[in-house]
Chains A and B, each alone.
Chain A
Amino acid sequence: MITFSKLVRLAPFDEETRKEILAKEATMSEDQKREITELAWDMVTAEYQANADAQIDLEFEKLREENKPFSEEVNTAVHLQMDMDFDKKLEAADTSEQIEKVQEELKTHE
């Protein structure tokens, strides 16, 4: 299950907004969380699309410069790269969330 804070870390919010949302998370209503969740997923998918487009564009440009035809392998390679990147982002969001939790726990023991 992807948590709210993990999603906020995953979505391409600007840092100011991201910090503000995370700071207010504990006091947010479910409605607010839902609205932000929807917005965040819109942004995640938009980013995914944009990244895929950019990757394909780059590959296409390379092929054009080398005067080579486009092949399905290129598409597959791009998507593989996309998947790896997405995994990394998820992992990073996860790690960041865990670090924050540990930091909070440490604070309570101080």
Chain B
Amino acid sequence: MPAPSVDISNSVIPNPAALRMEAPAAHDAGHATASPTEHGAHSASAALALEHDRKTSENPLEGTFAAHHRDGKVSEIASIGGRNRDILVRHFNQFATMARQLEKDEDPAFFGNPLYRQAIEIQQKYATMLKEGDAPPPPKKDAHGDGHGAASHNEHGDGHGGGAPKHETFDIRKISSADQAIMDGVIRLSIHDLASSIGVEIVNQNIPIELMPLFGKSTEIVPRQLLEGYFKKLGGELKTKYAERILFEKESRRDQLVKIAELHNASIAIRESLTGKKAWNLAGLRNKDFSRDFLSTETELQRNKLLASRYEGKDVSSLTPEQRIQLNRDSLVLAITQRGNIAREIISKPVETSFGESSLISNAREKVADKRGKTETRIVYKIGGRDEVPDETDQTRTRKITSKDHAQYQLDLHEAQNNISLAEEKIKSFRTQRTKLSTEYTELSGKRADLERDLELARQQEASYAYKHLLTEGEESERFISARTEPVRDKDGKITGQDSSKAATLLEEYRNRYDQILERIDTANAQLERLNKLPEEIRKIDEAIHHEEQEKINTLDPKLAAVLAREIKAEQVTSKDHQLEMTDFVVGEKEGDDTYTNRLSHSQIAFLHHETREESVLSLDNFRNTLFMVEGNLHGQHEAHAVLPDHVLIPSLARAMGLSWSDLLGDNEMDLMPYIANGVINVEAISVVVDPASKANIEAHIKNMGQLLLKRLQANAVHAPQSNAAIGKQVLKERLVAASTGKFNELAEITVKAAEPAPVRRTAPLSTPSTPGMFRLQENRP
């Protein structure tokens, strides 16, 4: 496995200025895949958009901060004027009127989509502003018979639309943001319905469709051929209520496209107003962040979820056009319902109505409800009363003492005690031996004089032994036997043989006597020699005893003492359930606890504010501590680490930054993917890697990933602190999701319950893994 080398730190630092400096190249690149028609239209429209932005360069949201406007000027929230305003009012009213009809007819569609009721409510709420647009007359044909010559993208449009009705009383600034969101939803659904009914889809949801005359006279409007470039064909059509309502099928193809384009441009105008972001910036570049408004994000989320539930394992591109149209529509409806409900519920829901039942916090509490009030008995391992030790890999941290530590301690203790026992046995054996030697020495010493005397006597006897020559010299022996051999006679006195037995017996007796003398010499010699050697043997065994004793005193005893000093005691403790403890840490212990809300505000301001934003990302620990508001609380920091350990934090950060595992793992992807499970790094799998080199390499790479992500956070703190605020928000939200599912050790996708009539609640904006173990945040659309 190659050493970790991937460097992603520079690839993500938002640097809008740098982006803008590359304007021409980026612009071209941005349209590299567009059709020639689209490219031409956009190139031409870029200059117009630039001009448009010169006029409306103030951030629309700054209107609410007039006192702090950079130029001291009061700029109001961007109004939606001219043609966009007319179109918006007309379509909204048509949609609301259709909703009323559906309600009257008791059409199931009405009850299946809360947006219809919301549209009616808004129409009633802003009746004075919208009444003029109620059931408006169809647009009059202008002198050139088209009625669509207006500048749709011009928010301050001057109503070039000829006969379009005026709605002077309608002012988007007088509509609350919650209701603007619903209007946005209505318009988007109308666009979708109209486009689907003629089997098309707008190529780019975030770029206005240019309907201005390109050159010369205002009568030279965009031809149908050029308009088609903004749309792609779906290969099928879908009957929709709204298209039926406005008799859309009776219009010419060109008029249909123009109508959708106008509505699309009006939708962008609302979204600009809602998000405070421009679809185009001064340099004529598309605002990459523009598409990341709440509804787009939610729509994409819902689409992914629906896709997964309806067509498991399939990609959108593999669906039939009809399936795709229906999927898009349903996801849009779901997203609108979500978004509209959130805003309306928060602002207008009666206070006494519980919000919590389906919220993540309530889910989290429900998950551990059966554990509350109960205790669990578990074993806690402690050293000197503490249940944690310094982390071996990072001494600035501590970690909990585990059963593994306890087992290791018991092994160490056994080994130390066993070594001492062996040493003591050895010393005891040596001492026994020494005692024996000492006794032997005493005894022999007492016999020394006798031994010496006996030896001397024996030597003399040996020297003077008379028959020695008979025993040592063969001839003498033969002669002796021959001289004493007697004839053997029979009864007649006749010699029949020779008898030497008496001689032999005698000679044997001489030999025995001589041997005995020699043996006495040997015995005395041996004992005297033993007596001389014994002091040395005793000295050596004394040395051995001393050595063993010293070894025991100097090495073994201290080893045992050291082991005992870190004695790990296993204690049975009765405490809160661990899951409950972690859940309480994340969402607070009591109903109505504002822990999460406080943390959210604390971390957001910490990541944004210039006094804290850099310190909050000095390390992953700092990031985590800031997120959980435990900067000065050691116990809290341990809790934070338990609910968001590094092996979860790293992928969670990556996900919030829009990085895939491929981005993170780089060249090592194939080697490291086995150590990824449930969207997080699988530390258990890594812990059982046998080869130390491989293990070290894996750990090094993971550490490196963490450092690279940290670098990005640090770069963000300097260049785009709002990115860190967004990242922090998502990571925090993911912990809330983890608490609601009870799986703190996973980065699971949030599952959506079967669609309920209403109200539908918001779910966290998490991405959908494309393949198991992989994740990818929603990217800015091209």
Give me the interface of A with B, judged by CB distance under 8 Å.
Answer: 1-2, 4, 7, 12-17, 20-21, 24, 27-39, 41-61, 64, 69-70, 74-75, 78-79, 81, 83, 85-90, 92
Contacts and interface: CB of A to CB of B under 8 A. Distances in A.
Given A43-B61, A50-B276, A86-B610, 5 more contacts: A7-B601, A29-B355, A53-B277, A60-B21, A75-B719
Contacts of B17: 56, 59-60, 70, 74-75, 78
A54 B593 CA distance: 39
B608 A48 contact: yes
Nearest to A71: B17
A47 B598 CA distance: 21
B277 A30 contact: no
A81 B70 contact: yes
B275 A46 contact: yes
B279 to A, nearest CB: 12
Nearest to B276: A50
Interface in B85-113: none
Interface stretch (B339-347, B491-499, B550-558): B339-347
Contacts of B596: 34
A105 B366 CA distance: 40
Nearest to B605: A2
B359 A31 contact: yes
Nearest to A49: B722
Contacts of B67: 92
Contact of B726 (A4, A45, A70): A45
A30 B592 contact: yes
Nearest to B348: A20
B10 interface: no
Interface of B: 15-18, 20-21, 53-54, 57-62, 64-65, 67-68, 70, 77, 173, 176-178, 275-278, 281-283, 287, 289, 294, 342-343, 345-347, 349, 351, 354-356, 359, 361, 592-594, 596-598, 600-602, 604-605, 608-610, 718-722, 725-726, 729
A38 B609 CA distance: 17
A85 B177 CA distance: 24
B361 A47 contact: no
Contacts of A33: 594, 597
Contacts of A16: 176
A62 B125 CA distance: 44
Contacts of A78: 17
A70 B18 CA distance: 8
A30 B57 contact: no
Given A49-B277, A52-B722, A85 B597 contact: no
A37 B346 CA distance: 10
B351 A44 contact: no
15 contacts: A7-B601, A13-B177, A20-B347, A32-B346, A32-B349, A34-B600, A37-B600, A50-B59, A50-B61, A50-B62, A50-B277, A56-B17, A57-B53, A69-B21, A79-B718
Contacts of A74: 17
Contact of B342 (A13, A21, A39): A39
Nearest to B20: A60
Contacts of A14: 64, 77, 173, 176-177
Given A51-B59, A89-B65, A30 B602 contact: no
A85 B61 contact: no
Contacts of B598: 1
A24 B351 contact: yes
Nearest to B285: A57
Contact of B608 (A4, A27, A45, A53): A45
A14 B274 CA distance: 11
A22 to B, nearest CB: 12
A15 B640 CA distance: 38
Interface centre among A14, A39, A83 (most CB of B within 10 A): A14
B188 to A, nearest CB: 19
4 cross-chain pairs, A with B, having the tightest CB-CB distances, nearest first:
A31-B355, A57-B282, A83-B610, A50-B276
Contacts of B64: 12-15
Contacts of B70: 55, 81, 85
Nearest to B359: A31
Nearest to B736: A34
Nearest to A61: B282
B538 to A, nearest CB: 82
A12 B278 CA distance: 16
Contact of B281 (A53, A89, A90, A92): A53
A34 to B, nearest CB: 4
B226 to A, nearest CB: 29
Nearest to A27: B351
Contacts of B718: 79
Interface centre among B68, B277, B356, B725 (most CB of A within 10 A): B68
A4 B346 CA distance: 14
Contact of B601 (A17, A41, A42, A79): A41
A36 B594 CA distance: 13
A70 B178 CA distance: 39
A1 B598 CA distance: 8
B725 A41 contact: yes
Given A31-B361, A48-B722, A53 B346 contact: no
A47 B276 contact: yes
A57 B276 contact: no
Nearest to A36: B346
A87 to B, nearest CB: 8
Contacts of A54: 57-59, 62
B77 A2 contact: no
A41 B604 contact: yes
A35 B346 contact: yes
